[in-house]
Amino acid sequence: MARVYFLLGGNLDNRERILSEAILKMKLEIGELISTSSLYETEPWGFEHEQNFLNQVVVFESELSAIEILDSTQQIEKDLGRVRKKNQYSERTIDIDILFYEDQIISTDRLVVPHPRIQERLFALVPLLDVAPELIHPIELKSVKELHAKCPDKLEVKKFKQ
């Protein structure tokens, strides 16, 4: 079984409902849900949009390979109305990123793990602090807590009022 860390996010439609539906589908397709962070509201990163994102980190145990998980998450995104645009930074109903797959380093045309920009993004690091502050990034060789302390991102990440 592999421990897999995901970042969920979206800023279109009913954001809370879509994140919940994504988690339900992931339980059916990927494995056992181990942990979830709080929900966080964040400004769009890399582009402007009137609607902020909701983000959440979820941790699963899975028997699937990283590429099988990628295939599953991309299908879940499609099922939940994700439309991929040419510009990688744009509004979306749901985005499911694989942040970490155990402590593996994977670099293929389709998948790079750990997520290549995690250390630059507070919207990923803040919810990760909820579930795995001591997790060591296998390339940076720093904990999530250390990466958070040195993150250059200045966008506000606040707990979502539920």
Question: Which residues are marked as active site?
Answer: 82, 92, 95, 97
Other CB atoms within 10 A of residue 108 CB: 10
3-state secondary structure of 42: strand
Question: Closest by alpha carbon to 25, among 58, 67, 53?
Answer: 58
In angstroms and rounded to an integer, the radius of gyration of the C-alpha atoms of the chain is 15
Q: In terms of DSSP bridges, do strands 95-101 and 32-36 run parallel, antiparallel, or are they unpaired?
A: unpaired
